[in-house]
Amino acid sequence: MTNKIRVATTSLAGCFGCHMSFLDIDERMLQLVEVVEFDRSPLTDIEHCSNCDIGLIEGGVCNSENVHVLREFRANCKILVAVGACAINGGLPAMRNHIPLEECLNEAYLDGIGVENPQIPSDIELPLLLDQVRPIHEVVKIDYFLPGCPPSADVFWKFLTDLIDGREPSLPYELVHYD
Amino acid sequence: MSKTITIDGKIIPFQDGQTIMDAALAADVYIPHLCHQPEFTPHGSCKLCTVKINGRNCTACTFPASEGQEVLSETQELIDDRKKITQMLFVEGNHFCPSCEKTGNCQLQAVAYHLNMLDNHFPLFYPDRNVDASHAEVMIDHNRCIFCTLCVRASQQLDGKDVFAVSGRGINRHLIVNGESGLLKDTDLDVTDHACSVCPTGAILIKRTGYEVPIGQRIYDHQQIDQVSLATEHHKHDE
């Protein structure tokens, strides 16, 4: 069991769509867990990374906690992978980058339609928002990128089996999509 | 006996007046390009078609072919350069493919797929750019403009109008339209103009047509841009 390849996953400023797509490898998951053990991941509920071989990061960074988690993954994972459009270029959450943060908060918590008890959340437990959503390669070194919104299950499968079998990962034309 | 050049060692015939790109297309050799289409005066701005001619880097779309030139195109160095150029085009604008109706039909995206571009490498600019949806049938999303000037040339050279121009330099470069208000609705652009359908990206879009073909069944979803380019532009070149 200790000889298994350790994989950690997380979703930062993402929608968990990439994780759902990963689960779309369906019954191939049984083959995967023969050789892979999951560490920190929404699939295991383990809260912090231990030493891992592969870290899969979904989503860009939109708040201070995202930055901490990303750095924890980088410190513990031999290979760190940007998974999906948001991790690679900020994606849909980065479309707020053209609107000042104060205006975003006002619209969401004060002025928006249907807001009750308007107040901007400021609990000390809440991570602070960054002024812009940024892709993860601007914060830490990223070793591999899997584009797509989301990357298809076959992308995950091709990439992970390449790595596990000791090949340099590569994606053929039909697996490279940005949409 | 006809004159020839070589591209990556392959002997390519040409006629006087042809560029390297003309000769390559006629001989079914694809050189990546975005700002070039055979029916318009070459512009040489996107630099994707950069090739090495007798040891010097030149844009194939503007450089005249002449007897005995040795042209290198598909070298690892030039392929890497093209990937970097494409990454720069992506980070300089706001190219969010999942929310763009041109996805799958976009030549910028297709060139990136062709080059197996998996990341942006550079920090992103996220420039502030507008959308001009004032026209009843056509819209401009400036976020996606790569300043290839194909719309400028199509309007002037095929439509007999002068609707578009590129203004400013460097990061302030932007597409402008010829109307008093600066809005597309106050120009003489018509939806049937060639300028409306020539955009290689999703910057100029004809409204209410974006999802006529579903994502997954679009031009570059299953076919690489080199095949599409040779099939369509070779034909135009011969006309």
- Residue A65: what residue type? E
Beta strand B70-72 with B3-7 is parallel
Q: Which CATH superfamily is domain A5-95+132-175 in?
A: NADH:ubiquinone oxidoreductase-like, 20kDa subunit (3.40.50.700)
pLDDT at A65 over 90: yes
Distance CA(A52)–CA(A38), nearest Å, equals: 9
B127 and B218 inside one domain: yes
In this prediction, residue B171 carries a pLDDT of 85
Q: Which of B116, B119, B215 sits opposite A137 (nearest CB)?
A: B119
Answer yes or no: do B38 and B14 share one domain: yes
Full residue range of the structural domain in which residue B172 is found: 95-224
Report the residue from B97, B124, B224 with minimal CB separation from A135: B124
pLDDT in tens, A82-139: 999 999 999 999 999 999 999 999 999 999 999 999 999 999 999 999 999 999 999 9
Same domain, B206 and B125: yes
pLDDT number for residue A13: 98
pLDDT tens per residue, range B154-177: 999 999 999 999 999 988 999 999
Instruction: List the beta strands (DSSP E) in B39-187.
Output: 50-53, 56-59, 70-72, 131-132, 138-141, 164-167, 174-177
Contact A171 B118 (CB under 8 A): yes
Segment B200-225 shows an average pLDDT of: 96
Distance of CA A58 to the CA centre of its chain: 1
The answer on B161 and B179 residing in a single domain is yes
Query: Nearest residue on chain A to B93, judged by CA atoms?
Result: A89
- Is the pLDDT assigned to residue B118 strictly greater than 60? yes
Reported confidence tier of residue B235, pLDDT bands at 50, 70, 90? low
Residue B88 lies in a domain: no
Tell me the pLDDT band of B237, cut-offs 50, 70 and 90. low
Which residues of A have a CB under 8 Å from any CB of B? 82, 85, 88-92, 94-95, 97-98, 132, 134-135, 137-138, 142, 144-147, 149, 170-171, 173-174, 176-179
CATH number (domain holding residue B100):
3.30.70.20
Which tens digits make up the pLDDT trace of A5-64?
A: 999 999 999 999 999 999 999 999 999 999 999 999 999 989 999 999 999 999 999 999
Residue type, B81: D
Is B96 in contact with A134 (Cβ distance < 8 A)?
no
Residues B216 and B108 reside in one and the same domain: yes
Q: Do both B103 and B217 map to the same domain?
A: yes
User: Which chain A residue is nearest to residue B104, measuring alpha carbons?
Assistant: A179
CB contact under 8 A, B98 and A145: no
CB contact under 8 A, B116 and A171: yes
Residue A2 pLDDT exceeds 90: no
Give A-chain residues touching B128 at CB under 8 angstroms: 98
Q: Looking at the DSSP assignment, which residues form a beta bridge with residue A8?
A: A55
pLDDT at B2: 86
pLDDT of A172 strictly over 70: yes
CATH number of the domain residue B29 falls in? 3.10.20.740
Q: What is the ipTM of this complex?
A: 0.94
Q: Are residues B143 and B198 in the same domain?
A: yes
- Residue A29 phi/psi, 5-degree rounding, is -60, -35
SS3 A45: coil
B51 and B125 co-located in one domain: no
In this structure, the answer to whether residues B219 and B234 fall within a common structural domain is: no
B24 and B57 fall within a common domain: yes
Residues B111 and B214 placed together within one structural domain of the fold? yes
Query: Would the pTM count as exceeding 0.80?
Result: yes
> Is residue B90 in a domain?
no
pLDDT band at B70 (very low <50, low <70, confident <90, very high): very high
pLDDT one-digit tens code per residue, B132-160: 999 999 999 999 999 999 999 999 999 99
Q: What are phi and psi of A78, to 5 degrees?
A: -65, -40
Do B37 and B103 share a domain, yes or no? no
Q: Using alpha carbons, list the distances in angstroms from residue A112 to A93, A130, B3.
A: 18, 21, 70
Query: Across the interface, which of B96, B113, B224 has its CB nearest the CB of A91?
Result: B96
B89 within some domain: no
**A145, B119: Cβ pair inside 8 Å?**
yes
Q: Work out how many domains chain B is built from and give that number.
A: 2
Task: Answer whether residue B86 is part of any domain.
Answer: no
pLDDT given at position B234: 72
- Residue B175 in any domain: the answer is yes
Q: What share of chain A is helix, strand, coil (3-state, %, to 5)?
A: 40, 20, 40
Q: How confident is the model at residue B45 (pLDDT cuts 50, 70, 90)?
A: very high
Beta bridge partner(s), residue B204: B140
Residues in B closer than 8 angstroms to A145, CB to CB, are 118-119
B236: pLDDT confidence band, cut at 50, 70 and 90?
low
**Annotated domain spans of chain A:** 5-95+132-175
